[in-house]
Amino acid sequence: MEALILLGSLAVLLAIGVPVAYSLCIASMVGYWVIDLPLDALMVAIGSGVNKFSLLAIPFFVLAGAIMAEGGMARRLVEFASVLVGFIRGGLSLVNILASTFFGAISGSSVADTASVGTVLIPEMEKKGYPRDFATAVTVSGSVQAVLIPPSHNAVIYSLAAGGSVSIASLFLAGILPGLLLGMTVAGLCLFFAYRRGYPKGEVIPMAQARRIVLDALWGLMTMVIILGGIMSGIFTATESAAVACVWAFGVTMFVYRDYRWRDLPKLIHRTVKTVTIVMILIGFAAGFGQIMTFMQLPAEITALFTSLSDNPYVILLCINVMLLVLGTLMDMAPLILILTPILLPVVSALGVHPVHFGMIMMVNLGIGLISPPVGSVLFVGSAVAKLRIEAVVKSMLPFYVGLLGVLLLVTYVPAISLFIPQAMGY
């Protein structure tokens, strides 16, 4: 009954339009009142939730991604991808996917990926003969890579929601193969449609120009090397690599590329602080909500419920996937990770599923939610950039949804896709 009141109050608050963070806080207060605990304990839980050193990675990665996104990096990555695959039939769609791969490995944000790459490539693809709705579908689908490929902000949030039992570095490494698999799946669909519909080939870029483009892009691509190389070599922790990447991104943008004006820098920092503040408030209130769920033994009850449905782990994972897909279309990714991880992690742990593997299952699920109606934030951004109705974009995305669901099944039922690199690196 206590758990029903807690979850019911949260559902009612969300249904009437109260912001997610405040819904979590008010529902937590109701829960503390129901089990007769002082609200002082809730304040302590909220403070403890954000008082973690590993959380410093989030503002650093957000700032580094914002600097590179607005400092000309997206255009240079598009040009670099054009050198590699632009000459193939349908090459401009492949350029879109590859640019998303590179940019996702710098920004860690699907929204930033769609906004930056889409602004450059959607008009260019339409100019070259691609339908605008198809160009938008490619951009939006490819941007899901950013939630998997390091440095994913959501991997940091998952590590926190798991109680710190899963290292951020292992999650970063685990996201490499699923992210690349997702990118290759979308690219394969692009090639299929290119040959079936007769989309144009791009031009081969002359060697001298290609050399200049590659050298220009290498400055930005070094951000990926700093993040991954630092973590894999053991030189940096994930948080330290975020700080170093931020300094590097600032230096490259302001002193090498010099496309960004110094007077615009305070506005960029102000936007970053606003973003990080929203995330931190959400994390703090979710910590309080998670504690009251623990007091009510809700995770144990949910575990018992799932295991009573079936003793087959494949069936239970399928049920969890369906639930995550549905919820992912209704709520944003970060709050769902914070709310559901403490509930579902004990369930899958009882089935023998590795916490890192489950993290990747959750990321792919909720990443699909980001590009699905009615609440998919990345879908809205892509439609706004392309100036198209969401219905038109969703219609073009139907084949890509099928491909992404195939990736989800592979990631779910083939643990090695997620665990091979972390285990090979000793995590």
Give me the amino acid identity at 346. Answer: P
Q: What pTM, to 2 d.p., does this model score?
A: 0.85
Confidence bin at 386 (pLDDT 50/70/90): confident
The arithmetic mean of pLDDT across residues 212-240, rounded, is 80
What rounded mean pLDDT belongs to the chain?
84
Report the C-alpha gap between 388 and 319 in whole angstroms: 34
Q: How far is CA 420 from the centre of its chain?
A: 20
Confidence bin at 194 (pLDDT 50/70/90): confident
Q: Which residues contact 366 (CB under 8 A, 6 or more apart)?
A: 147, 154, 324, 328, 333, 336, 337
The arithmetic mean of pLDDT across residues 121-132, rounded, is 85
Q: How far is CA 350 from the centre of its chain?
A: 26
Element (H, E) at 301: helix 298-309
Q: Using alpha carbons, list the distances in angstroms from residue 214 to 4, 205, 251, 427.
A: 58, 11, 19, 33
Contact by Cβ (8 Å): 328, 372 = yes
- Kindly report the backbone phi and psi dihedral angles of residue 201, in degrees, each rounded to the nearest multiple of 5, phi listed first: -85, 155
Longest dimension (CA), the chain: 73
Which has the higher per-residue pLDDT, 157 or 87?
157
Burial 398-425 (b: 16+ CB within 10 A, else e): eebeebbeebbeebbeebebbbebbbee
For every residue of 3-58, DSSP letters joined together read: HHHHHHHHHHHHHTT--HHHHHHHHHHHHHHHTT--HHHHHHHHHHHH--GGGGHH
Burial class (CB in 10 A: 0-12, 13-18, 19+), 160: buried
Confidence bin at 401 (pLDDT 50/70/90): very high
Report the C-alpha gap between 417 and 411 in whole angstroms: 6
Is residue 330 predicted with pLDDT exceeding 80? no
Confidence bin at 151 (pLDDT 50/70/90): confident
Q: Which domain holds residue 10?
A: 2-424
Q: Structural domain tally of the chain? A: 1
- Residue 344, token pair as written in the block: 């579902």
234-268 residue pLDDT tens? 777 778 888 888 888 888 888 888 877 888 888 88
82-103 residue pLDDT tens? 787 777 887 888 888 988 888 8
Contact by Cβ (8 Å): 67, 268 = yes
- Kindly report the backbone phi and psi dihedral angles of residue 206, in degrees, each rounded to the nearest multiple of 5, phi listed first: -55, 150
Is residue 144 predicted with pLDDT exceeding 80? yes
Contact by Cβ (8 Å): 94, 102 = no
15-34 residue pLDDT tens? 887 888 888 888 888 888 88
